[in-house]
Amino acid sequence: LTAAAVATAAAHVHAHGDAKKTAAIAVGAVATSAVKKHAHGHEEAVHMGTSHSISLKRQLYRSTQKHRSSTKVVHKTAYYGQVELGTPRQAFTVVFDTGSGNLMVPSTYCSSRACSMHRRFNRKFSTTAEDIEADGSPSRKGAPRDQITVTFGTGEISGIFLQDDACIGNLCTNVRFVGATEETEDPFSSFKFDGVLGLALPQMSQGPEFSLMDRLVESKVLKQPLFSVFLSDSDMEASEITFGDIKEEHMTSPMFWQPVSRDTGYWQVQISDITINNQNQHLCSNCQVAVDTGTSQLAGPTSVINDLSQRLDVKTDCSNYASLPKLGFVVGEHILNLSPQDYVDKGPDGCQVSLMPLDVPPPNGPLFIFGDPFLRKYYTAYDRANSRVGFAQARHIDGQPEQLLVSLNGPGSVFRAPAPEVADEETFGSGAAGAFLARSASAR
């Protein structure tokens, strides 16, 4: 949500006086619990699957950013859309966040101003809601409840665990989520949206059953086991997230795919180098980049940013702004370029490189975070079944696009290989996917 929120969110579960329960949860009991059949008889439809696109609204807001001894005001953007919970459905606006793993919305158990100014989930109004503990077991009425606290930048959300039906348009499944019991004033009272829908990989969720994307895939309601994101900063075209499909009309280039490179929970891929005007700089050959729809900034390792700042030589008086080069990141056989307007903060106080320092140690780092400035230039897709990220230059309606996506092998090379096999649609619920969820459980 804020730039600092893209760093690994600190989450802790506490059972209020039950130390053994806390320990069991901490070692990963939540990830190994089985999916239950619910008392209300919810049956997930098995059919060929469909797709659904949600239009995203855009909020511009101001935030203060502290770096060393200085503080500056940063203009940020948030994109959010609607999800519905419960029976009958209760509608909420959420940020669809690939940098976090849980669905979190305010609940009527929360009376703070940050909650009360937003829509709150009323558990008593839903006939299909269940009160659960962190491991999915039913809560006992009047007994202490497992709670979770998640840190988002300068603020925190605390909440209890619930289970209910969730719908994105006509795509519905049953999911576990967090109902907030407390939200800090900063930053949540400044947001127009109600909550966060985490779309990171399961390692970042409280457990497999908390991953809405995985639940949709397992329910077989999706046309394809993926989602795609198109962002715009223009009022002339709608931003949207599409579950179950990729839209060709949002692309000016073919989509290329890169495998997820680390089991961190982020949708992150390997960078082999950084370029300036398509020239290799031999920087950060072992870096990673995480694509994060929940942040409005770009971030990277301090040492690399300092080196880049010297090479880019952005004048503080903006005198060379018009002649600044493209900044690129080599991903697979392509260079993903950013223009000066994407990596330079240009305002009344002058110009400076806008990449925020973020130091993630190996093996998960060094790590760059690509937020909204990148996502407005590139249409991205997130393939859950094959654990890969797709990139294509985005098509916008406001004029001719820049040539930002560069192929390193020209028109491509032709080669012979064994005929590809058709993917088995049933493997997600077992086999490879089962092994993935098992690895997730053992890692927690």
Please identify every residue annotated as catalytic: 97, 292
List, as own/partner pairs, every contact residues 385-388 make where C-beta atoms lie below 8 angstroms and the sequence separation is at least 24, other chains included. 385/217, 385/225, 385/226, 385/423, 385/427, 385/428, 385/433, 386/257, 386/259, 387/201, 387/259, 387/260, 387/436, 388/257, 388/258, 388/259, 388/260
CB atoms within 10 A of CB 164: 24
Q: What is the DSSP letter of 170?
A: T
> Whose CA is closest to 226, among 234, 235, 216?
216
Distance CA 190, CA 118 (A): 11
CB atoms within 10 A of CB 43: 8
Q: Which residue matches tokens 């390193």?
A: 408
From the number of C-beta atoms within 10 Å of its C-beta (0-12, 13-18, 19+), residue 210 rates as: buried
> Whose CA is closest to 67, among 358, 369, 370?
358
CB atoms within 10 A of CB 30: 26
> Whose CA is closest to 42, among 105, 87, 101?
87
Q: Which residue matches tokens 């890169």?
A: 258
> Whose CA is closest to 270, among 280, 257, 282, 261?
261
Question: Quick check: helix, strand or coil at residue 29?
Answer: helix
Distance CA 194, CA 1 (A): 12
Q: What is the DSSP string of 91-139?
A: EEEEEEETT--SEEEEBTT--SHHHHTS--B-GGG-TT-EEE-TTSPBP
Instruction: Yes or no: say if 177 and 210 are a contact pair by the CB < 8 Å rule.
Output: yes
How big is the chain, counted in residues?
Answer: 444
For the stretch 269-281, what's the b/e string if a residue is b when 16 or more beta carbons lie within 10 angstroms of its beta carbon? Answer: bbbebbbbeeeeb
> Whose CA is closest to 150, among 304, 13, 345?
13
Distance CA 149, CA 178 (A): 10
